[in-house]
Amino acid sequence: MRLDTPPDALPSLDPGQAGISVVTRAQEAISTGADALANDGSQSAALRDAAGIVRDQAAQRLSVMGGVWNPWPSGVPSGAETGPTPSAVPGTVADLLQLLVDSGATACRSASAAPNRTDATLLAGTCAASALDANRLSVASGVAVPSLSAKDSAAPPTNPDEPGVKIEDLALLDKLREAESALDFARYRAETAAAFLSGDDRAWALGRAEALSWEVQRLVELGVEDVRAGQYALDFETLADKSAAIHLLNSADADAFAAELEVLAALPPAGKDHPERRDPWIGAARDSAFSQARFGVPPATIFSQLWP
């Protein structure tokens, strides 16, 4: 054996795998820190409940992503690199919020660059879920959601109004046409729900319809066949009740969330020529998740297609 044999190096990871490695370590720490808060009798009942939800959601995300990546399950070989450092367990609400914000930002960036579509959708879902968890914890604790840490603040800005380059791949266009149809139907349901709502709820539904209309238009500009319809079949008589209109809006947002994940997974990952191609869709999925949460849909339902 040669005495100058180099030590074992860690396996190389693509951008999606590297993101999952970071995010899963964060989820483990988030779940542990939130569990401590959920069982701390000195905290308010509202905070303990919120922390329990954050704990359970982080544990589910950790499980569906395969747990924390361990490059040496049989033990670290002599002289080998030891692998990534575990995330520090947050000991306060402020620390927990910061970890949710920072790991969520990592998930967003990694979803944009992940070459594997499953990794991309899981990371995009984690991006949205982390933001929801941070908001839930902030409301329950009265502690403001913090800005990104300095180490994460260099994330490139997105420009959702920048026109995209037309897609020539016919198979990809077929996939995106299905998503476009789902988004347009969601847009119509949001508009319809708004007609049966009032005040802030009506304004919110109209805002969702406008956002979904923009998403459909973006797909058309990318070269997807325009399949927009002026009207869809709905049972309008059942919508006189406010709760039915809200249910219609929630179902529209749930279908939009699924379609947005399909679009971002179908699009090529970020690259030199199109560094932010998926970014608008990651943001759109996050908005659809937030809209459902606004009207009381629990996170376990919102993200059931990703981590049942």
Whether residues 120 and 200 share a domain: the answer is no
Can you give the residue range of the structural domain that contains 45? 15-72+84-152
Which CATH number do you get for residue 201?
1.20.1260
End-to-end CA separation in angstroms for the chain: 50
Cα–Cα distance, 239 to 195 (Å, whole number)? 9
How many domains are contained in the chain? 2
Query: Does the residue 6 lie in any domain?
Result: no
Mean pLDDT of 175-201: 94
Which CATH number do you get for residue 110?
1.20.1260.10
Q: What is the pLDDT of residue 200?
A: 97
Q: Give the angle subtended at the CA of 218 by the CAs of 230 and 195, to the nearest 5°.
A: 40
Cα–Cα distance, 115 to 271 (Å, whole number)? 10
**Which pTM was predicted?**
0.87
Query: Does the residue 165 lie in any domain?
Result: no
Whether residues 137 and 174 share a domain: the answer is no
Query: Does the residue 247 lie in any domain?
Result: yes
Given phi > 0 = left and psi -120 to 50 = alpha, else beta, which region is 169? beta
Q: What is the pLDDT of residue 209?
A: 97
- Three-class SS state of 157: coil
Model pLDDT for residues 77-136, shown as the tens digit of each residue:
776 666 678 899 999 999 999 999 999 999 999 999 999 999 999 999 999 999 999 999
Q: What is the pLDDT of residue 257?
A: 98
- Three-class SS state of 295: coil
Sign, CA torsion 293/299/300/303: positive
Whether residues 188 and 247 share a domain: the answer is yes
Mean pLDDT of 34-43: 96
> In the predicted model, what is the mean pLDDT of the chain?
87
Whether residues 113 and 178 share a domain: the answer is no
Q: What is the pLDDT of residue 152?
A: 52
Whether pLDDT at 273 is above 80: no
Residue 65 and residue 122 in contact, taking contact as beta carbons nearer than 8 Å:
yes
